[in-house]
Structure formats: C-alpha cells, structure tokens
Structure 1
Amino acid sequence: MDPECSQLLPALCAVLADPRQPVADDTCLEKLLDWFKTLTETEPSLLLLQENPSLVELLSHVLKSQDVSSRVLSFSLRLAGMFAAQEDCFQYLQQGELLLGLFGEVGPLCWVAWNVPTVRSGWIQGLRSLAQHPSALQFLADSGAIDTIFSLQGDPSLFVASASSQLLVHILALSMQGEAAGYPCLQGGAWPMCAWKIVGHLEESLCATGAPQVTQALNVLTTTFGRCHSPWTEVLWEQLCPLVARLLERATIPAAHSLVDLLLNVARSPVFSSADCGLWGTVTEALNCLSPLQVGPLAVGMLKLQHCPQALRAQALGVLLQLLACVLKATAQAPGPPGWLDRTEGSSLTVDALLSSKAACVGVLCQTLAHLEELHPLPQRPAPWPQEPLLSAAVTVLRLCRGLVAPSSSVGARLCATFAGCVRVQRAALDFLGTLSQGTSPQDLVTQVFAVLLEYLESPDSSPTVLKKAFQATLRWLLSSSTSAGCSNLSPHTLLFLRELFTVLQKRLCSPGWEVRDSALEFLTQLCRHWGGQADFRQVLLASEAPALARQLLQDPESYVRASAVAATGQLSSRGLQAAPKGSEHLQAQQDLLGDLLHILSTDSEGFPRRAVVQVLTEWLKDGHAGVAQDTEQFVATVLQAVSRDLDWEVRVQGLELAQVFLAQTLGQPCCSYAVALPTVTPADRLPTVLRTLCRLRLLDFAFHALLDCDRPVAQKACDLLLYLRDQIDACGGLREVGDSPDLSSVEAALQRWRAGEQGQPLGDMEPEAVLAILRSMDLEGLQSRLAQGSEHVEKSLQSLLQDMLATVGMLENEADCY
C-alpha cells in the first residue's frame, strides 16, 4: 500500500469505528472492499495487516463494541474474511481469537444487528472468502459456523438463503479437494469432517416431510453436480440416490421443479457419461410420476443428451408427444406413421385430468411446442423425427384456436373450447410451425400450412402479436418452399399463394392498428430483399398497390411505422420496384423518393425514422443507386449537413458510416469496415483532389468535430474514419508530388480552433498538406485506446477514495472529488 494511503487509513478506521460518524454511502464501502481485494491479490495479506495495525484495531473494536452500524459490521465481516483467505494471515488473526469472535456461535449471531439481512449476508460473504485452505475447514467444523449456515438456508431474505446454499457447495467442494476417489460410502467419518456434516444434513433434509427442507437440499445438490465434476461426486450420488428416488414415491412429490433440475445436472455431468449409479432408473420413474407441466423440461433435457439410453429417449419423446397425439386423435386427423402413437402411451399424462384445467392444458401445450422447437435443429434429436405428424398437429392446433375444426369426440369439443381464441397458444403454434419449415414435408401438408397462415393473416380477430408471428412463419415457409438458387422463377404453388398474400398485405398496410401496419411493412421489406430480383415475384408485387401504400406510410403519424416505411420504400427503390418502372418516370420517381427521405432526415421529430433514412441512404450509396449516382457529391454534402446537426447519436454514427463509404469509393477502395491494411493503394497523384473534395463537402469538418462528441460511439467512429484516411495517405507515400511544406500558421490556427471546442465553427477549406499535417499531429491511436476504455473510465486511486470518505465526514478540509 502506498505511504500516503497508509497515513490516511488510521483516520478512516477511527471514523468507521465511531457510531457518531455515519458513513453516508454504502458504495464507498464497496469500493473500499474492492481495493482491499486488489491489494490482497498482489501483496501478502499478513504484511498488509502488520504494516497497517489500524485494520486489526477496527476488527477488534467491532468485536468488542456492539454499537457500530450494521453496514460497518457487514463491511468488517467481509474484510476479515478477505484477509483470512491466506493461511498465514488466518493464523495471525486467530491468535487473538478474532475470527472466532466474528464468525463463531458467540459472535454477531447474538447481536441485535444480526436481524439486519446485510449483516447476515456480510457474514456469509466473509466465510466464503475465508474458506480457501485446510485451516479454514477445521475452523468451520469447530466454530459451529456450519450449523449456522444450515439455519440460514431458510432465511426470510432470499439473497441470504441463496448465498448460504452456495456457501455449502463451496465448502463441500473444498473439503473434497485432493481426496482420493475410492471411498465406498460416506459413513463412519471416512470423508473430511465438513463434508460429513454437510452430507448428513442433506440426508436429513431429503427425508424431511416439509417441502422447504427438501427444496434446500435439492438446490445444494443441483449446484454441486453442476459445478463439481470430480470422481467423488459419483460416490455422493450413490449415497443419496435412494433418498432422491423415495421422493417420487410420495403421494405429493415435494419440490418437483428442483428435483428435475437435480436429475438434469447429474445426467449432464461428465462423471456419469459412462456410469449409471441408479440415475437412469430414477429418471424413468420421474418421467412416469411427475405432472405434465413438471416433466417437460426433464424429457427435453434427456433428449438432448447423446449418451442417454435409447429406451429412455423413446420414453421422453412419448412424454412430449402425448398431448399433440391427443389433438390428432380427438380431431380425427391421420395419426402419422405406424407406431408413432405407441410411443405416447404408458405416460402418467391423463387427458381428462389435463383438460379439467384450461390453464394447465394451455401451459402444457405451449411448453411442449417450445421444447419440440428447441429440439428440432439439434443433431441429437430423436430419429426418425415425426415431421409429418408434428406439422399436422401444429396446423390442427391453429385451426382449433380459430374454431375451424369439427371435433369428432367429446375430447375434441373440450379442446376446441380450451384453445378457442387463445393468443398464447396461437403464438407458440406459429413459432413451432415456422421451425418445421426446415423439414421435408409432402405438398398436401404444405398447402394446408399456407392455407392456415392465410387464414390468420386475413382474420380481423388476429391480434397484432399473432399477426407478427404469422408474418414471420409465412416468410420462413416461403423461403423453404421457393425454388433453388439460380432459377429465376418461383414454384407454381408459391406463386399462387403470393397472389393471395398480396391482397391480404394491402389490407394490412391500411390497418387502423399501427402495430399491424408496422409488421406488414417489415414483412414487405423482407419479401423484397429475398425475391426482389425474381421476375415472377416482381410481376405479382407491381400488380398490387403495396409499393404505393408503403410510400404513403412515410407520412404515418406513428414514428415506428414511418421508420419501417423508410426501410420498405428504400428496399423497393433499390430493387426497381416502384410504381413507375419505366424510362424517365422511373428516374423521376427515384429522385422524388430521395427528396422525401431527405425531408424526413431534416424535419422528423422522432429518431427512429431519421436513423432508418441514413441507413437506407448508406445502402444506396454502396449499391450505386440511380438517385444517388446522378450527383453523388451533392448527395453526400446534403446528407452530412443534416446529420452533423442531428441530436440523435445513432444518426451521427450512421452518418459517419456513410462518410466512410463515400471516402472508400472516392479512394477507389472496396466498401468494407475500417482497416489499417488494405489490398490496394490509391495513386498519390489523386490524393490532393480527394482531400480537396472532402474539405469542400465538409466531410472532414464533420469527422473532426465528431472526435469531440459527447457520445463515445460517435467519437470512436470518427477516430476510426480519420485513422483510415491517414493510413491511406501514408500507404502511398504522402503528398510528395505537391510539396511537404504546408502553411503551418493556417494549420496551427485550425488546430487551436478545433481544440478550443469551437464545434460550431467550420475548419474551412484547407490545402491537402494542411489536412495531412493535422492528421499527423493528432495522437489518433492514443485517442482510440482511451475511447475503447469506455465512458465510465475515470482516474481512480485508493488515496482519492480515502480522501473522499474522510472529507465527507469533515476529517479533511479538501472537498470530495466525487470518486
């Protein structure tokens, strides 16, 4: 520790020990602990205490005097644990039984302050830091601290209860560190004392009749098997597995969700990848006994395991499929391939019990669809994958929600009543339907898919969120059913669907709900992005009113819709899909749209549309859009003039991106991200012209001023841009052809104005040599490094913190510097 800090520390410790001197800010104590943690990681803790005896005096005072504040007591407990993490320092503190007084049964547990959760939390955190070596383990066993941790598992504070369970896991793992793997059991004290006590407590808790004790034990075991993958965990499971299995024999299974988490963590542990230890039998029984809502995560977890036994995988898949099989049977749908429904029998899921509660039935169905969606893309998913039955079930569920299925049984009628109009089920089924687009399906089923999607897109009863899901699923199915790349036409089925789709899309673009208009515009943008170059698609699109409606929505009262309209019209224009596709009318339409976008950029009161405009204009510049190519320099100057005054930092960042694209094109480079090394070098004789152009368009003004922007991303982007320009100049040998002696006075004047923060004043037209001199005079690499540290990076020191804390309570005359 620095001598200056050592001189300040006694005064601060005196302040902390004095109850009349309140520590106003808990944050200061947290920062102080962070500093001590850093010091103990770089310096011997024992030497630190010996050189600063005021720290030990503070701990002794806290132990003797019970009138310190709860926050100081919590701080002291954590500080003591932090120092005691090193064994020699632990022994030093133990000489005066300081640690026993702070963490033993006669310590803070008997104080009134123990009722404050932060004190109990500080006690746990202190022990967590302390428990790092064998001496600490012996201390925990002898001091009674283990029993206190047991009691804190049921603490009313969830933070304290969770921390105590985590501490037990840490102590158990530390106890077994370095132990041999061949222990036959946990009886007779064969394992270290702390481990023996913890496992005994877990056994008692698993046998308890109350759910809280069982939950606490299961949570400790779940974390243990999730974190610890040493051979001793196999012995631990052998010891406790029978007790875990007995939980499944109870009339009401306690802590079912915690039990599922435990079984999953044990199964995922590499220790059990080739061992059974009763695990698979317990999982089999759990799949039979748990309720439908509880069993889903366990089933899907087993199916994700590559080493799961095949019989267990089949059982798990049957658990997931049973409700969907019930849907197919209840609506007289084809049951799928032979034997598919056989996999769904023998489970504890009873349809009558499930249908007795609408909430339970909806919950199980949504969970099932989510789990199957999660399994679908995995290489270890069950094989053969029942693609056709699942697709048929998803379509049927969606039709049940709309009342489009005639039930063939009483169960079917109850399913209709349960799912009718249920938005939650519709969203889950549409998500799952979109996922199934990645599989191979017969054409008749694909036709049914498009039909049900069209029904949802047409229906006035579809909520905005359901419509958005329907648009997303439709896009995925269109992508999967379109013809292969390289073919200019869409398939006949896809083309027929598109004609109907655009009729619906036109109506949705005129919907009174802004969310619907927004989703429709996003969908139109995606369609154009994927198929804008295909002749059949272009014909269908241009025969509709969608392009004209998208153009009208640039004036929408809702800013989100205006932003989406900007993206849609930009994509339409890029693809040549505007309403006037021929000759001069087409070029005029391009210019008119450019004028509209520039008007939005200059006048729109919301940031979303303005951001969208700059993004579109940047893409147009990259692609050589006709409306831009007619007068690129005027276009860039106009955009940068508007962007430089914009109050939205994202607009300014995007404006710098546009400037970089223009710069790269002007230098004859590919439009790529900023890079130091580029594949080609710009001819030196072109550089003066390029630099004069940049000055004339005020691009360099914009970049230089952006370096001082109060928003860090803007300054970073500007710094990258200027580094790119400087490296390009240096790559071709500078400006030797026009001389290397700029007017230094004009350069210095420009730099002084810039450094003085005259951001409203342009740098003016500069000679190329002046531009180069400015770029070389700046430490752009250093600025880039400082900006990368983050806007929260400030000069910090322990001395500054100590001074601030003392100044706050009047112990120092200097003002606090708001560390």
Structure 2
Amino acid sequence: MDPECSRLLPALCTVLADPRQPVADDTCLEKLLDWFKTISEAGSSLLLLQENPCLVELLFQVLRPQDLSARVLSFSLRLAGIFAAQEDCFQYLQQGELLPGLFGEAGPVGQAAWTAPTVRSGWIQGLRSLVQHPSALHFLADCGALDTVFSLQGDSSLFVASAAGQLLAHILGLSMRGPAEGLPSLQAPDWPACAQKIVGHLEESLRSTAPPQVTQALNVLTTTFGHCHSPWTRVLWERLGPLVACLLEEDPLPAAHSLVDLLLSVARSPVLSSDCGLWETLAQTLRHLSPTQAGPLALGILKLQDCPQALRAQAFGVLLQPLACVLKAADQAPGPPGLLEGITGDSVTVDTLLSSKSACAGLLCRTLAHLELLQPLPQRPSPWPQAPLLGAAVTILRFCNGSAAPASDVGGRLCALLAGCVRVQRAALDFLGTLSQETGPQELVTQVFSVLLEHLRSPDSSATVLKKAFQATLRWLLSSPKTPGCCDLDPHTQLFLRELLPVVQKRLCSPCWEVRDSGLEFLTQVTRHWGGQAGFRHVLLTSEVPELAEQLLRDPESYVRASAVTAMGQLSSQGLHATAASPEHPGGQQKSLLVELLRILSEDSEGFPRRAVMQVFTQWLRDGHADVTEDTERFVARVLQAASRDLDWEVRAQGLELALVFLAQTLGQPGSHCPYAVAPPQATLRSPPAQALQALCRVRLFEFAFRALFDCDRPVAQKSCDLLLFLRARTVPHSGPQEAGGSPDVVSVEAALQRWRAGEQGPPLGDLEPETVLAVLRSMDLEGLRGALAESSDHVEESPQSLLQDVLAAVGVLGENQADCY
C-alpha cells in the first residue's frame, strides 16, 4: 500500500466507525472495496491487516452494540469477506472470534440493522468472497450460516434472494471440488457436510407444495449445472432428476419458467447430454407445458447440438402449432406433406389463441420471435418450411389489417382479436423481413409485396408499424432475384417500385415526424443499393420524391432534417438530384445542394443535422463528388471553418475525418502510420510534399488540427493527434536541410499552442508557411500527448489517495484544499 494511503487509513476507519459522522456515499464505499480487493489480490491480506491494525479495529466495531449506519455495516461485512478469502488471513481473523461475530448466528442477523436489505446483501456478498477455501467450508458447517442463506432465498428483496441462490450454488460447487477431483465416483452419502446439507435442502424444496420454494431449488440447480461440468454433477442429477420429473405430474405445473431453464442447463452440460432419461424428460415436459410456456423450451432444444431427431421434430412442431392454427383459420393448408404434416394446431393452442386479445398477441409474438431466432442458425430443422412460414406471416398481417377472409368461427374470432394489433404487426413484419434471406414461390413473394404495400398505404398503420414495414420492404427488395444476364431490376421488382414510390411520396408529407423520418431512411437505403440501375432511376425521377426530400431539409424536427441531409447526399452522389433541362423535369431550376448543406452546417440549432452534413461532405470528398472536385480547396476550407466553430464535439471530430481524407488525397496513398487512414478513390501521381503542404496551409487545415489537439473533448483531441502524427510521418522525412531550420513564425505558433493548451482562445494563427508547420511538427511531443490522451481521465482523480482524501474532507477531517473532486 502507498505510504500516504497508510497514513490516511486510521482517520478513515475512525470516521467510518463513528455513528455520529456523515458517511460517504455508496459510490465512495464501492470504490474503497474495489481498492482493497485489488490490494488483497496483488499480495497478502494478512500482511495488510498486520501493517494496518486500524482495519481489524474497524471490523470489531461491527460487533459492538451501536448505531452504525446500514451502509457502513454492509461495507464492513464485505470488507471482512475480501480479507478472509485468503486462508492464512481467515485463520488470523478466526483467532479473535471476529468471523463468527460477523457471519454467525450471533452476528448482524439478530440486530435491528438486519431489516435493511443493504445489510443482508452485504452479508451475502461478504460470505461469497470468504468461501474460497476448505477452512471456510468448515466454518460454514459450524456457524449456522447455511440456514440463514436458506431463509434468504425467500427474501422480500429480489436482489438478496437472487444472491442467496447464487451463493448456495457457489458453496455446493466449492465443497465438491476437492473430493470429486480425488474420487470421481464419490456417491452422494459420502459428500462433504456442506454439500449434503445443501442437497438435502434442495430435495425438501422440490417436494414442497409451495411454488416459491420449488422455484428457489430449481434456480440453484440451474446455476450449478450451468457453471459446473464435473463428474459429480451426474450423481447430483441422478439423485434430484426424479424429483424434478415428478413436478410434471402436478396440475398446474409449478415454476414452469424455472423448470425450463433447469432442463436446458442440464441438456447443455457435456456430462449429462448423453443421458437418455434426460431426453425423455424433455419430451414429457414439452407435452405438459402450455403453448406459451413450451416455446422457450422448444427453441432451446432446437439450438442443442446433440439432440435426438424425434425430440427435435417434436420441439419444432410445438413452435409451429400457433402458425398452423392461423393458416387453418384462414382456410389455408399448413404446407406440403413432410413440412408441417400433422401440425394442424391442437385444441389447447386454439383455446390459448382465442382466450383473450393479450394471450393471442403474446403467443403469436413469442412464436414469431422464436422462429426468427431459429431461422439463421445452422442447426435449424431441415427442410425449412419456407413457404408455409411465409404464408403464415402474410396471413397474420392480413388478420391485423382486416383484409383476411376468415374461413371459420376461429378465423372470425382471430380477426376480431388481432384487428389493429400493433404488437403483432411489428413482430410479423420483423419475421417477414428475416424470411427474405430465402426465396419462395413467386405467388407467395407477390403476396409478401402486396401485404407490405397494404401496410405502407394504410392510414391506420402506426409510425412504428410503418417503420417496420419499410425495413421489411427493403430487405425483400434487396433479396429480389436478378434477371439473368442483366444488372437491372427484374420486371416484378420494377412494377412494385412503381407502386411503392407514390406511397413513399405520401409518407414524406405525413404530419407525424417519425413517419417522415422512416420514409427518408428507406429512401436513403434503397438509393444506396439501387441508385445505379436504370429502372430504379427512371421510376424515382418520374416521381416527386427527390423534391419532397429536399424540402424536408427545412423540416421543423431535427431528426427529420438529419435524415433528409443523408438522403439528399445519397441522391446527389448517385446523380438523382433534379437538374435543369433534364427530360423528367423540363424547365427545372438547378438548386445548389452544397450551399443548402453549408447553411445547415453553419446555422442549424440542433446537432443531428450538422453531424449528418459533415458525414455527407466527408463521403462526397472521398468519392470525388462533382460539386467538390469543381474547387476542392475552397470546399474543404469552408467546411473546416464551419466545423471549427461548432459546439458539438462530434461535428468537430467529423471535421478531422474530412481533413484526413483531404490529407490522404493531397499527399498520396496513405501508409501504415495512420491508424484510420482512408484511401483515395484511385492512386494517382501526387504533388511533392512542399506543394502539398502549401495546399494544406491554404485550406487552414493546420489551424483546425492544432486547435483540436487541445480540445476539451478527448475523442477530438485523440483524432487530431493521430492526424498530425500521420502528417508528420508523411512529410518530415521528405524535408530538405534548408526546410529543417527555424522560422520567424515558429515561436509565435508555439506560443499560441501553449495558450490553447492552457485553455485560452487566442487569435487565429493566420497564414502559415510549410517550413513553419514542419518545424512545429518536429518540436511537438505528439507521441507523449497521444499516450496521455489514451489514459483514463480519472487515473489521477480517482487514485486511492485522492479517494481517501475526499472521504475525509467531506466530514471535515481534512481541509478543502487537500481534497480532489473525482
């Protein structure tokens, strides 16, 4: 321990032990515990206590009847556990009967402070830290702490109850570690005392008629089998597995969720996965669970690597039953033989679907979510019933929007329950988007596009449903098959786009800003992927979508303005911005998008649109956009000037990204010195370094980078430092002897840098010469600055010494000038 910390420690312990003193907040105490844990793990806890007896005295204060605050009592219990985790320190603390007084029956358990959840939590955490060695296990068996842990499983605080269950699993695993490794065939009657007591408690809980006790036992076993894969766990399952199986005979089934978690945890264990009895228990459980409860178990079974095919088929059938019910209700066959054969939806599933609006929506949403998770997995069932699943998703969406034709009373009831159900619509649209990864019969694909168009057109579709519909539409558009020998759109897709763009046009005029935003995002993505294809270009330019998107650059909502900036940037990059004398817009006037974006960068009051402008400008520069190449230096200078004044650090950081792109294009193909360099569009012959530096000086790049080097936001300073290091590596080696000399301006530039480092603004640097820049770059310790920026900002402020000083200063033990604000 640092000598200064040792000097401050007695005063800290005095403050903590004094009930009259205002105690530091929980954050300070947590940091103190982290510090003590680090010290203990790095050395000897016993030596730490011997050199700082005030720590032992603090722990003894807990045993004395006084009004210690709950947080200090909790802190002391956890601190004792940290020290006692080392066996020699445990023996040292045992000599003074300290540990029985803290964790035994005579400890805080009988005090008034025990009513505080903080104290009970601290007691459990302290015990968890302590139980790391055989001596601690003997202590547990003798002091009665296990009985307290058992009772805390049912604590009114969920955090305490969960921690108690985790602690029992930890103790069970630790107590079996030694004996099981020495004697792998060790049977349950020969297990250590702690293990036998815990297993006995679990048996009693599993036989209980109280569901909470059953749940507690199942949770402990789930943690045990999930974290321990030793041979002794097979003996544990052989002993407790029959009790778990007996739960299936009860009606209603107790703790169904916890039972599912346990069975999947056991099935994933490499020690138990070959147990045939386990597979039978899983199959039996699937039959006993309700449709709502069975879904998670079925999905978990299908994710297993080694699972009998019959059980996989049963699990997949359970997942598909709700969708089979939906298809039957709409008078559609569940699918070709062999795919959903025999899965027509049992009466229990139908009853669940029709019981209430919430039950129907809940079951369908969970089913769709499970199948969505299963679809991309390599171990998913094969063959995959793509066509029936597409039909089910489309049918569900049509039940929701009222366009389905029910073929039975069940169908009519589903129509009534699902009408306008946003929750189900979102889930079905997500699932439909996932199914786009594979194709299907053309008739079904046509139905997919049709139902998507219905939702996008419908005035009843909510903003979130429209957003999901746009996302699903994009995924299906991008998965559309290409016409052989042609890079253009296939006829079906082109026809769909002709119907879709008027809908997009309408949505860009929506009074709801979220809808306008979703429409712009869709336009951006579809243009990025299809903007180079003649069919899409023709359809887009014959619509009013580009003009409407441009109008939204002045939308009252900042998110919409930002999305409009991105959309217009993409349209302009693809040459889809309306131009004068174009055949689609005869007589149209050329509008300068560049000027409008510069206005937003300089004048918009919100950060999102300005950030979007910087990203567009950076991409334009990278891609060689026509408006940029017309006068690249003037463009870069204007953008950097605006970015340097911006109060948003992300705008300034993006300005450095743009500066880097210009730097790379000016100096040539970047080398390995730049950690995030961007290659120019194509390698060409570049100007000599001196001429290149003149161009960088003309756009005031150095003024921007040098100021950013001392930016109050560290990401900006780090990016500037990397940029200047790259610049120096690319230019300084090329400078001749005459360039290496001093310059009259060097002193003034270095003085300005010192002022900026000190936080002063100061006047601009003015016009710089390349020789001045090279000399300044040589003189700067950029590597040292980069190292300092890489350090956490609290490596000084949150040092142990500073923390101790702050705690003591808060109660007046130290003067204000001796404390650091952390």
Q: Normalising by structure 2, report the TM-score.
A: 0.95
Contact 2:303–2:379 (Cα < 8 Å) also in 1: yes
Q: CA deviation at 1:186?
A: 5.5
Cα distance in 2 for residues equivalent to 1:749 and 1:760: 10
Bigger Cα displacement from structure 2, 476-485 vs 224-233: 476-485
Bigger Cα displacement from structure 2, 53-62 vs 709-718: 53-62
1:45 corresponds to? 45
2:219 corresponds to? 219
Q: Is 1:64 matched with 2:64?
A: yes
Bigger Cα displacement from structure 2, 782-791 vs 277-286: 782-791
For 2:323, the aligned partner's letter is: L
1:262 corresponds to? 262
Question: CA 1:590–1:246 in 2, change beyond 3 Å: closer, same or farther?
Answer: farther
For 1:401, the aligned partner's letter is: C
Contact 1:183–1:235 (Cα < 8 Å) also in 2: no
Contact 2:264–2:300 (Cα < 8 Å) also in 1: yes
Cα distance in 2 for residues equivalent to 1:178 and 1:380: 37
Structure 1 residue matching 2:177: 3-state secondary structure = coil
Q: Is 1:733 matched with 2:734?
A: yes
Structure 1 residue matching 2:80: 3-state secondary structure = helix
Cα distance in 1 for residues equivalent to 2:729 and 2:43: 44
Cα distance in 2 for residues equivalent to 1:167 and 1:551: 61
Contact 2:668–2:685 (Cα < 8 Å) also in 1: no
1:610 corresponds to? 610
2:698 corresponds to? 696
* Equivalent runs, 1:424-463 vs 2, <5 Å: 424-463=423-462
Cα distance in 2 for residues equivalent to 1:86 and 1:521: 61
Deviation per CA, 1:683-724, whole angstroms, max 9, x where unpaired? 997222222322222211111111111111111111111111
1:494 corresponds to? 493
Contact 2:449–2:473 (Cα < 8 Å) also in 1: yes
Structure 2 residue matching 1:106: 3-state secondary structure = coil
Contact 1:401–1:421 (Cα < 8 Å) also in 2: yes
Q: CA deviation at 1:640?
A: 1.0
Q: CA deviation at 1:22?
A: 3.0
2:789 corresponds to? 787
Contact 2:711–2:717 (Cα < 8 Å) also in 1: yes
Cα distance in 1 for residues equivalent to 2:337 and 2:86: 66
Question: CA 1:52–1:644 in 2, change beyond 3 Å: closer, same or farther?
Answer: same
Cα distance in 1 for residues equivalent to 2:317 and 2:507: 40
Q: Is 1:539 matched with 2:538?
A: yes
Question: CA 1:794–1:684 in 2, change beyond 3 Å: closer, same or farther?
Answer: farther
Cα distance in 1 for residues equivalent to 2:646 and 2:750: 29
Contact 1:643–1:651 (Cα < 8 Å) also in 2: yes
* Equivalent runs, 1:390-409 vs 2, <5 Å: 390-409=389-408
Cα distance in 2 for residues equivalent to 1:672 and 1:576: 34
Question: CA 1:592–1:812 in 2, change beyond 3 Å: closer, same or farther?
Answer: closer
Q: CA deviation at 1:458?
A: 1.1
Match 1:765 to one of 739, 764, 767: 767
Structure 1's unaligned 5+ residue stretches are none
Contact 2:633–2:698 (Cα < 8 Å) also in 1: no
Contact 1:241–1:278 (Cα < 8 Å) also in 2: no
Contact 1:533–1:575 (Cα < 8 Å) also in 2: yes
Q: CA deviation at 1:729?
A: 1.4
Question: CA 1:350–1:473 in 2, change beyond 3 Å: closer, same or farther?
Answer: closer
Q: Is 1:818 matched with 2:816?
A: no
* Equivalent runs, 1:135-214 vs 2, <5 Å: 135-180=135-180, 187-188=188-189, 190-214=190-214
Cα distance in 2 for residues equivalent to 1:760 and 1:494: 59
Question: CA 1:389–1:708 in 2, change beyond 3 Å: closer, same or farther?
Answer: same
Structure 2 residue matching 1:578: 3-state secondary structure = coil
Q: Is 1:777 matched with 2:764?
A: no
2:363 corresponds to? 364
Question: CA 1:483–1:341 in 2, change beyond 3 Å: closer, same or farther?
Answer: closer
Q: CA deviation at 1:260?
A: 0.9
Contact 1:664–1:671 (Cα < 8 Å) also in 2: no
Cα distance in 2 for residues equivalent to 1:25 and 1:496: 65
Cα distance in 2 for residues equivalent to 1:486 and 1:408: 44
For 1:263, the aligned partner's letter is: L
Bigger Cα displacement from structure 2, 679-688 vs 150-159: 679-688
Structure 2 residue matching 1:19: 3-state secondary structure = coil
For 2:476, the aligned partner's letter is: W
Deviation per CA, 1:435-455, whole angstroms, max 9, x where unpaired? 111113111111111111111
- Count of aligned residue pairs for this structure pair: 816
Cα distance in 2 for residues equivalent to 1:56 and 1:13: 9
Q: CA deviation at 1:41?
A: 1.3
Contact 1:84–1:93 (Cα < 8 Å) also in 2: yes
Question: CA 1:682–1:494 in 2, change beyond 3 Å: closer, same or farther?
Answer: closer
Q: CA deviation at 1:335?
A: 2.7
Contact 2:324–2:345 (Cα < 8 Å) also in 1: no
Deviation per CA, 1:561-601, whole angstroms, max 9, x where unpaired? 11111111111111111222768999997761111111111
For 1:802, the aligned partner's letter is: L
1:651 corresponds to? 651
2:805 corresponds to? 803
Question: CA 1:3–1:551 in 2, change beyond 3 Å: closer, same or farther?
Answer: closer
Question: CA 1:272–1:634 in 2, change beyond 3 Å: closer, same or farther?
Answer: same
Structure 2 residue matching 1:367: 3-state secondary structure = helix
Bigger Cα displacement from structure 2, 487-496 vs 124-133: 487-496
Question: CA 1:493–1:345 in 2, change beyond 3 Å: closer, same or farther?
Answer: closer
Cα distance in 2 for residues equivalent to 1:598 and 1:685: 29
Contact 1:296–1:320 (Cα < 8 Å) also in 2: yes
Cα distance in 2 for residues equivalent to 1:457 and 1:672: 48
CA-based RMSD = 2.5
Question: CA 1:807–1:608 in 2, change beyond 3 Å: closer, same or farther?
Answer: closer
Deviation per CA, 1:217-246, whole angstroms, max 9, x where unpaired? 111111111111222222211111111111
Identity of aligned residues (%): 72
Q: CA deviation at 1:746?
A: 4.0
Question: CA 1:791–1:589 in 2, change beyond 3 Å: closer, same or farther?
Answer: farther
Q: CA deviation at 1:271?
A: 2.0
Contact 1:335–1:389 (Cα < 8 Å) also in 2: yes
Cα distance in 2 for residues equivalent to 1:112 and 1:761: 66
Cα distance in 2 for residues equivalent to 1:661 and 1:760: 28
Cα distance in 2 for residues equivalent to 1:637 and 1:747: 20
Question: CA 1:705–1:310 in 2, change beyond 3 Å: closer, same or farther?
Answer: same
Question: CA 1:204–1:569 in 2, change beyond 3 Å: closer, same or farther?
Answer: same
Q: CA deviation at 1:760?
A: 4.5
For 2:743, the aligned partner's letter is: P
Cα distance in 2 for residues equivalent to 1:619 and 1:684: 21
Structure 2's unaligned 5+ residue stretches are none
Structure 2 residue matching 1:336: 3-state secondary structure = coil
For 2:121, the aligned partner's letter is: S
Q: CA deviation at 1:179?
A: 2.7
Structure 1 residue matching 2:592: 3-state secondary structure = helix
Moved over 4 A (4+): 181-187, 345-348, 581-591, 670-673, 676-685
For 1:303, the aligned partner's letter is: L
Contact 2:77–2:102 (Cα < 8 Å) also in 1: yes
Cα distance in 1 for residues equivalent to 2:43 and 2:674: 42
* Equivalent runs, 1:444-593 vs 2, <5 Å: 444-483=443-482, 487-580=486-579, 592-593=592-593
* Equivalent runs, 1:238-249 vs 2, <5 Å: 238-249=238-249
Cα distance in 1 for residues equivalent to 2:281 and 2:474: 43
Contact 1:320–1:368 (Cα < 8 Å) also in 2: yes
Deviation per CA, 1:387-408, whole angstroms, max 9, x where unpaired? 1111111111111112212211
Cα distance in 1 for residues equivalent to 2:539 and 2:26: 66
For 2:295, the aligned partner's letter is: G
Question: CA 1:772–1:738 in 2, change beyond 3 Å: closer, same or farther?
Answer: closer
* Equivalent runs, 1:742-761 vs 2, <5 Å: 742-743=743-744, 744-761=746-763
Cα distance in 1 for residues equivalent to 2:576 and 2:785: 45
Q: Normalising by structure 1, report the TM-score.
A: 0.95
Contact 1:302–1:308 (Cα < 8 Å) also in 2: yes
1:319 corresponds to? 318
Structure 2 residue matching 1:179: 3-state secondary structure = helix
Q: CA deviation at 1:811?
A: 2.8
